[in-house]
């Protein structure tokens, strides 16, 4: 009985602070805390997506419509003006011939969430799936590794889950529909193609090490310096180094493929985990993450066991979309209940050079997003992946 009285008084206090009724406070606030609604599908498709990130276009091997985000094109982009794909002249089927096209297009969405099977993209939908397999570490908590319990900081980890969606916005909104230029061939928004729950290694570091023994290479001195070198390069050039395949620049190292990261800023942690998801899925022989850059990918996307990081750039959709610019209205001081204190920072000193609505893998979060976290209902993250696609825009024939 006593705990009910205390619980009621707590929500009465919340109601006074936020101007809502106690009953409404419990039903609305708790649901938003557990699994927030990102409010993307609908009007958010226009207001929360940075449409300027589509540019530049490369038509017939020539750059057109320059970009304002200063992110370089991926290494090895196609520069041939003409193309011919498929067909079988013996059967009387003409190939699809035309001009080459290269563009950044919104292709996938990654959610990095505290609670497994929570889907902010779909209005905060929580799938009724058993969530007890991984215990507390599935819930986005900070925990201490048993073998490092006496080591300050180094034994502390934050754990997050993920969902991976097909997100063909151009095709779904009928803005652009060329069959040969659509990675995966998706034409509509879909439920998650993959969950972190499908990968036992995401919850078990020992299993992750067994499945990805290349993580042991991180102890080699040459590999240990790769990450800081790429971090400096990314900060200056706004692009990753594809040859440093085990690094995610200023975000950290890609392996091991688990949901555990050391407690940096939550934006940096979620960014690193989104890069891990891409690297993990690129190793699967499926069409989820393929290489769509290069002359050999113009007609058919290629298997990509090693992630080509420069093929992607990323925009945050939630909690604070990058399309809304810097949004320096973030309050300071103690946060709302269940949240964390927001640090006072002045980001206007970064200058206009860093004002962009998309960023490359490994680009320092201090320059684009550390202030985009929102306490309580903004500690889950939704990222839109822009994928560079070299393809054949057919004008003659139609063979696949």
Average confidence score pLDDT of the chain = 79
DSSP 3-state assignment of 39?
Answer: coil
pLDDT over 70 at 162, yes or no:
yes
> Domain check: are 244 and 380 in the same one?
yes
Among 13-22, 170-179, 190-199, 379-388, top mean pLDDT goes to 379-388
Task: 130-136: list long-range contacts, CB under 8 Å, 24+ apart.
Answer: 133/197, 133/203, 134/203
Q: How confident is the model at residue 33 (pLDDT cuts 50, 70, 90)?
A: confident
C-alpha 364/C-alpha 380 separation (Å) is 19
DSSP assignment of 160-222 equals -EEEEEE--HHHHTTS---GGGSGGG--S--S-SEEGGG-GGGT-HHHHHHH-GGGGGGGSHH
Q: How far apart are the first and last CA of the chain?
A: 69
- Centre a 10 Å sphere on the Cβ of residue 52 and count the other Cβ atoms it contains: 15
Number of domains in the chain: 2
Both 151 and 30 in a single domain? Answer: no
Task: Please give the pLDDT value at position 376.
Answer: 75
**247, 172: one domain:** yes
Same domain, 150 and 13: no
Residue 219 pLDDT: 67
- Same structural domain, 77 and 14: no
Among 14-18, 68-72, 361-365, the least confident range:
14-18
> Is there a single domain that holds both residue 327 and residue 204?
yes
Note whether 193 and 210 are same-domain residues: yes
For residue 233, what are the domain limits? 38-396
**Domain co-membership, 25 together with 55:** no
Give the mean model confidence (pLDDT) for residues 132-142. 49
- Binned at pLDDT 50, 70 and 90, residue 132 comes out as low
At 172 the pLDDT is 85
Q: What percent of the chain has pLDDT over 90?
A: 46
Taking the CA atoms of residue 173, residue 174, residue 178 and residue 179 in that order, the dihedral angle to the nearest 10 degrees is 70
Rounded distance, CA 215 to CA 357, Å? Answer: 33
In angstroms, rounded to a whole number, what is the distance separating the alpha carbons of residues 299 and 83?
A: 8
Let me know whether 29 and 99 are in one domain: no
**Looking at the structure, do residues 212 and 327 belong to the same domain, yes or no?**
yes
Write down the H helix ranges in the chain.
Answer: 2-18, 22-24, 30-34, 44-47, 169-172, 205-211, 221-224, 226-237, 266-282
What global pTM score does this model have?
A: 0.82
Span of 95-109, 123-137, 375-389 with lowest mean pLDDT: 123-137
Shared domain for 95 and 6, answered yes or no, is: no
Same domain for 296 and 382?
yes
Give the residue-averaged pLDDT of 69-91.
88
């Amino acid at each position: 009985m006593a705990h009910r009285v205390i619980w009621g008084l707590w929500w009465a206090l919340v109601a006074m602070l936020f101007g809502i009724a106690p009953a409404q406070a419990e039903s609305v606030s708790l649901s938003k805390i557990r699994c927030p609604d990102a409010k993307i599908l609908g009007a958010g498709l226009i207001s929360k997506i940075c449409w300027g990130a589509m540019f530049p276009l490369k038509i017939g091997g020539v750059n057109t419509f320059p970009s304002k985000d200063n992110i370089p094109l991926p290494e090895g982009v196609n520069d041939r003006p003409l193309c011919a794909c498929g067909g079988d002249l013996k059967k009387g089927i003409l190939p699809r011939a035309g001009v080459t096209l290269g563009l950044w297009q919104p292709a996938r969405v990654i959610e990095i969430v505290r609670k497994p099977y929570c889907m902010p993209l779909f209005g905060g939908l929580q799938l009724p799936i058993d969530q007890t397999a991984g215990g507390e570490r599935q819930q986005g908590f900070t925990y201490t590794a048993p073998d490092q319990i006496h080591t300050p900081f180094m034994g502390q980890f934050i754990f997050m889950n993920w969902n991976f969606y097909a997100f063909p916005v151009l095709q779904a909104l009928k803005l652009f529909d060329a069959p040969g230029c659509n990675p995966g061939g998706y034409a509509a928004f879909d439920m998650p193609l993959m969950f972190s729950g499908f990968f036992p290694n995401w919850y078990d570091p020992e299993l992750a090490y067994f499945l990805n023994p290349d993580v042991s290479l991180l102890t080699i001195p040459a590999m240990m310096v790769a990450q800081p070198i790429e971090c400096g390069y990314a900060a200056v050039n706004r692009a990753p180094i594809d040859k440093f395949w085990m690094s995610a620049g200023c975000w950290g190292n890609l392996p091991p493929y688990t949901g555990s990261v050391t407690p940096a800023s939550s934006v940096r942690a979620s960014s690193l985990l989104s890069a891990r998801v891409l690297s993990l899925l690129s190793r699967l022989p499926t069409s989820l993450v393929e290489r769509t850059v290069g002359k050999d990918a113009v007609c058919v996307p290629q298997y990509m066991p090693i992630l080509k990081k420069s093929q992607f750039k990323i925009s945050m959709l939630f909690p604070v979309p990058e399309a809304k610019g810097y949004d320096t209205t973030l309050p300071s001081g103690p946060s709302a209940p269940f949240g964390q204190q927001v640090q006072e920072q002045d980001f206007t000193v970064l200058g206009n050079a860093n004002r962009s609505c998309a960023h490359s893998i490994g680009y320092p979060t201090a320059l684009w997003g550390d202030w985009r976290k929102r306490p309580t209902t903004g500690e889950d993250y939704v990222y839109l992946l822009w994928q560079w696609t070299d393809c054949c825009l057919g004008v003659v024939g139609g063979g696949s």
